[in-house]
Structure 1
Amino acid sequence: MASRSCFSALLLLLVAFEFIFVIGVTLPRCRPIVANDNDQIQFALNLEFLEADFFLFGALGKGLDDFAPSLALGGPPPAGGRMANLDPTTRRIIEEFGYQEIGHIRAITQSVGGIRRPQLNLSAEAFAAIMNQAMNTTLSPPFNPYANSINYLLASYVIPYVGLVGYVGTIPNLDRKTSLSLVASLLGVEAGQDAVIRGLLYERADETVSPYGLTVTNFTNRISEFRNRLGMCGVKDEGLMVPVQLGAENRTTSNILSADANSLSYSRTPAEILRIVYGTGSERSPGGFFPKGGSGRIAMRLLQ
């Protein structure tokens, strides 16, 4: 009887420990942060700055400081951005995206106030490090996003989707109708950008990315898996091709739009987003595209 009682007590202790672990560790890291509308919308500027400078430099060889310097609010110039070797169609699309991001930054700044542009790292080395982690190997030669159109589109695949799921995660936590209207409008364009990038890559899904011997699909699937690992809150990201059981209505292996079982957009919290764009898996450890961390109250609070 004594041994049975000890076993029962041990079992209850293990169950209790597991309950504490799930409630105290796993779930809080996935909960939305408590913040007012202005702070939540301003947080999105971190991604908008990243996209604006990456697209503008990629298409035109110059960034936000050349087109709308006042919107950076004195933030340091991005490091490593340069013009990409793009085909004419891709260059035109990316140029349009860059101008759209300027508009997003202006709209947010005029509506809720701006934040100082954080230090951005757009260097080929930063993207190479991200790709090495995603592919779980050291690519040789190092991945260069500016080398050609396929590389640039794969690098672009890394960024806008994170902004998209961030806006989806923000909407349920907003209080004002004006905030909802603004974010819904921003979300529409971000979703469009992501769809265009995924569509362009899907046309080349089976094409080999030289000189790595891996297809475009291999890259997108690995990048999506990598973002899920960094985000630490389940599957919220899918590559261009999926098993049929994960396709729309379990009837397709194509996955041009990443969505859940009901074809609804996934959402992420600010903490999840920072874990991804920092490339560290921790909202408290800057790195990746934000070597000194993000700007605004939410990013600074999470950094602490």
Structure 2
Amino acid sequence: MTDSMELIAALDRRVERRDERREFFKAAFGMGALAVGGAATLGFAKRADAQTATITDPDILNFALNLEYLEAQFYAYAATGNGLAADLLTGAGTQGAVVGGQKANLTDPVVIQYAREIAADEVAHVAFLRSQLTTSVVAQPAINIAGDANGAFTAAARAAGVVGETDAFNPYANDDSFLLGAYLFEDVGVTAYKGAAPLISSNAFLDAAAGILAAEAFHAGIIRGALYARGVATPALRINADRISDARDTLDGTAGANNGDLDQGISPVTTPLTSSLGATSAPASNFVPTDANGIAFSRTPAQVLNIVYLNRAAATMGGFFPNGVNGTIRASVA
């Protein structure tokens, strides 16, 4: 076989494995049967009622703020060993504590600098959104970012096949684990802001959301690129990133014949290249998950909550938000 034929054959086998994994994910995530701590489960959430209230711009920004609390706490702990300051946690709703979180055992100078930069941006996002929301800002909800056997990271990693059913996944253990933990969040943030943008009526708020979307897209590119590059020497990194992507696709309901592979992994793909010499095919990286028009896809707020709650069913809590998020937008859908 030529190199191209070998790559195409490998990609065909990858598609077959993806379909098999998604059938497993449907069962694993189906009714939220992922345990986190003793008798608690990631899917013990009650079924959510349909939201009928009119959604306002502050509602959308507060929904985004919940996600920023999660990302900021993860990166701040990983980069510095400390979480958000107390004055960045208050607001409407029930203020919750962070379970887990520790300084990551990073040794690669490049990954260390990535972690520091992204942490600073995410903390700044929290502060900025809070400043825009003023008196309507919601408090940080309870967050689970533990790296032990009972943590949300482990539950997600087990269901995705990144670790075995009796193994723990600790995103703070080393450079590779940190990047995989970050990858679980980053693409979700980008698609969340893109999905929320059409719902915003205020030009000022839309401009702010667009600015944060751009920053989150840069972050996602950094993480995807780092995993891709390190995956040259450690192919398991790319494979595990693909597994996480497939799990997200299944959780939010975008996997399937009618939707295609919206949440794409990072393994190389064969893509047509048009040039003055005619159309050719060549392997390419997959840093940017786009459609045929080169456009990134969107997620609805409910789909985002399916992922962070680690539950394909309609729910109001679970996973990384064990008691749910604060604000008006807080229910996922089946």
TM-score, structure 2 length as denominator? 0.73
Amino acid at match of 1:71: L
CA distance 1:135–1:46, shift in 2 (3 Å): same
Q: Which residue of 1 aligns with 2:325?
A: 294
Q: Which residue of 1 aligns with 2:63?
A: 43
Structure 1 or 2: more strand by fraction: 2
Q: Which residue of 2 aligns with 1:121?
A: 144
Structure with greater Cα Rg: 1
**Aligned counterparts of 1:131 and 1:288: Cα–Cα separation in 2:** 12
Q: Which residue of 1 aligns with 2:179?
A: 153
**Aligned counterparts of 1:154 and 1:97: Cα–Cα separation in 2:** 15
CA distance 1:207–1:144, shift in 2 (3 Å): farther
Q: Which residue of 2 aligns with 1:95?
A: 116
Which aligned segments of 4 or more residues in structure 1 are displaced greater than 6 angstroms? 246-250
TM-score, structure 1 length as denominator? 0.80
Q: Which residue of 1 aligns with 2:16?
A: none
For the Cα contact (< 8 Å) 1:167–1:187, is it kept in 2? yes
Q: How many aligned positions are there?
A: 265
The Cα shift of 1:207 comes to 3.5
Q: Which residue of 2 aligns with 1:27?
A: none
Higher relative contact order (CA 8 A, sep 6+): 2
CA distance 1:247–1:139, shift in 2 (3 Å): farther
**Aligned counterparts of 1:55 and 1:247: Cα–Cα separation in 2:** 37
Unaligned 5+ runs, structure 2: 1-50
What is the RMSD of the two structures over their aligned residues, measured on CA atoms?
2.7
Amino acid at match of 1:150: D
**Aligned counterparts of 1:150 and 1:240: Cα–Cα separation in 2:** 15
**Aligned counterparts of 1:271 and 1:242: Cα–Cα separation in 2:** 30
After superposition, the C-alpha distances for 1:239-276 in whole angstroms (9 at most, x for unaligned) are 11254259999754410111122111111011000000
Amino acid at match of 1:90: V
Q: How does 1:172-251 map to 2 (within 5 A)?
A: 172-208=198-234, 215-233=236-254, 234=259, 235-244=261-270, 251=282
**Aligned counterparts of 1:202 and 1:139: Cα–Cα separation in 2:** 26
The Cα shift of 1:50 comes to 0.6
CA distance 1:269–1:58, shift in 2 (3 Å): same
Amino acid at match of 2:251: L
CA distance 1:285–1:178, shift in 2 (3 Å): closer
Q: Which residue of 2 aligns with 1:70?
A: 87
SS in 1 for 2:97: coil
After superposition, the C-alpha distances for 1:114-140 in whole angstroms (9 at most, x for unaligned) are 211010001013211111111176256
Structure 1 or 2: more helix by fraction: 1
CA distance 1:164–1:78, shift in 2 (3 Å): same
**Aligned counterparts of 1:230 and 1:223: Cα–Cα separation in 2:** 10
Unaligned 5+ runs, structure 1: 1-30, 209-213
Q: Is 2:296 the partner of 1:276? A: no
Q: Which residue of 2 aligns with 1:26?
A: none
Q: Is 2:136 the partner of 1:112? A: no
**Aligned counterparts of 1:247 and 1:280: Cα–Cα separation in 2:** 39
SS in 1 for 2:329: helix
SS in 1 for 2:55: coil
